[in-house]
Amino acid sequence: MESLTEGALYRNTLRTLESAGDLIKINANALERLKLPRRAVIVSVPVKMDDGRVQIFPGYRVQHNQTLGPFKGGLRYHQSVNLSEVAALSMLMTFKNSLLGLPLGGAKGGITVNPNLLSMNELEHLTRRFTTELNPFIGPDKDIPAPDVGTDSQTMAWMLDTYSMDSGFSQTGVVTGKPIEIGGSHGRECATGLGVVYTIEKALATRNRKIQDAKIAIQGFGKVGMHVAIEAFALGAKILAVSDVSGAIYHPEGINITQLKKYIDENKVLKGFPNAQGIDGEELLELDVDVLAPCALDGTINSTNVDRIKAPIIVEGANGPVTMNANDELCKKGVLIVPDILANGGGVVVSYFEWVQDIVWLFWQEDEVRQKLKTIMYRSFDTVWNFAQEKQENLRISAMGVSLQRLEKAMKLRGQAW
Ligand code: NAD
């Protein structure tokens, strides 16, 4: 078990779990059960590379808890993927799904590989073989993977096809985040970013502010950050600064996100966008804005820059962008931090909608998906906010508290760990 629990993310997640557990006075047996995943599958995935060599990649699927329903969580292709990171992320999925009121458990998976170094052909073979190795453990009623860092709707299409070949008939519900043509949901692409924007609206409302009058800085312009920018801009917010791996840009009156998106479609990165000034990526984090939305990396707000953060509201679009120590310091100063398991939950909510639509073979229009997503995000924010007011706690511990209360009740009803 040591290799499972030794990583920093796992230890940090346990810390939050223990603090929230203390707060709700969780049953000691339930807490012990939640500290470890139910099952961790390690596979080796051989791929015949384009040059004829066979290369073996380590792959993982960690299934943390299925008290509330089938396991659910993304698959990550990245060179830093390891068992402990995947295990910690699987635990976070259990807490996120519980917090959002979804009938799903938590899982996560991944392959230690740099997908940028593989051809499309190699990626397809990697994905198909990985799916075959995971076949006994996944399925529409068992465990439903989705895209994460380094994977996308094409990866899910290959998984769906391989799983369906093995079972002998089409099984669209085995993965979510699929292309629309093969059972994907409208609104899935923008779901995480849109969910972040709904929580920005709610966070601003707690300070009697509206998104239309807000100045926002966004770190990252990928699957999450880009949609935060597009959706917030559409609602009238001023997006003062955005960044990506190439650098950051700033405009004191707000960046025109429609123009920026067009520029990025043509140039791939935001560096060189003519209608804004280039700034340092670190400077973006320290801007005097109403809302800072870190949507790129983990650990981006930490002990080296925490003293210079000026935004009164931070909404975590990425997973773990504010370190534990920075979180404590900022909360002491009165900064409102909407934690990742709440703020970036929109993706899994619409994944859940996709799974439901695949089961009943009835597909919804985008406005219906957006409305249902808004209802869940607003309701989840309110529940966490009310819990935080009642217990006089920060939103991170409160989100975990709300999540644990639901899980504990379900575990008790099922007679687990009692
Ligand atoms: P992505 O790969 O699509 O985008 C990442 C973005 O970050 C890119 O624009 C990249 O250029 C930028 N970036 C990289 N290094 C940077 C740096 N040093 N400074 C500024 N920008 C930098 O990934 P994503 O799917 O948008 O995921 C981002 C984060 O959100 C991750 O932590 C992920 O786990 C989390 N998340 C994603 C989803 C989802 O639905 N995609 C859901 C929940 C959580």
pLDDT of residue 356: 97
Pocket probe for ligand 1: among 223, 231, 280, 353, the residue whose CB has the most ligand atoms within 8 Å is 223
More confident residue, 297 or 27: 27
Listed in order, the ranges of the chain carrying CATH 3.40.50.10860 are 2-170
Q: What percent of the chain has pLDDT over 90?
A: 94
What are the tens digits of pLDDT across the range 92-135? Answer: 999 999 999 999 999 999 999 999 999 999 999 999 999 999 99
CA torsion sign for 72, 74, 80, 81 is positive
> Residue 333 C-alpha to ligand 1 middle, in angstroms?
27
For 258, list phi and psi in degrees, rounded to 5: -65, -45
> Is residue 58 within a helix (H) or strand (E), and if so which, with residue range?
strand 54-65
φ and ψ at residue 38, rounded to 5 degrees = -70, -40
Single-letter amino acid code for the residue at 34: L
**What is the rounded CA–CA span in Å between residue 19 and residue 81?**
27
* pLDDT at 1 > cutoff 80: no
Question: According to the CATH classification, is domain 191-338 in 3.90.1150.10?
Answer: no
pLDDT band of 9, cuts 50, 70, 90: confident
Q: Please give the positions annotated as active site.
A: 108
* Ranges for all domains in the chain classified under CATH 3.40.50.720: 191-338
The confidence score (pLDDT) of residue 303 equals: 95
Considering the domain 2-170 in this protein, what is its CATH number?
3.40.50.10860
Residue 162: predicted pLDDT? 98
pLDDT in tens, 232-263: 999 999 999 999 999 999 999 999 999 999 99
Residue 321 CA: nearest ligand 1 atom is: 32
Residue 217 has pLDDT above 90, yes or no: yes
Give the mean pLDDT of 342-365.
97
Atom 24 of ligand 1, residue of closest alpha carbon: 223
Pocket test for ligand 1, best of 97, 228, 231, 245 (most atoms within 8 A of CB): 245
Compute the distance between CA of residue 129 and CA of residue 266 in angstroms, rounded to an integer: 34
Q: Mean pLDDT of all residues in the chain?
A: 96
pLDDT at residue 2, as a whole number: 62
pLDDT at 416: 86
Residue 418 has pLDDT above 80, yes or no: no
> What pLDDT does residue 16 have?
87
Q: Which atom of ligand 1 is nearest to the CA of 89?
A: 34
The pLDDT of 326-351, averaged and rounded, is: 97
What integer pLDDT is reported at residue 12 of this predicted model? 85
- Ligand 1 site residues, Cβ closer than 6 angstroms: 149, 192, 219-225, 243-245, 281, 295-298, 317-319, 344, 347
The one-character DSSP state at 133 is: H
Name the residue at shortest CA distance from atom 31 of ligand 1: 318
Global pTM value = 0.95
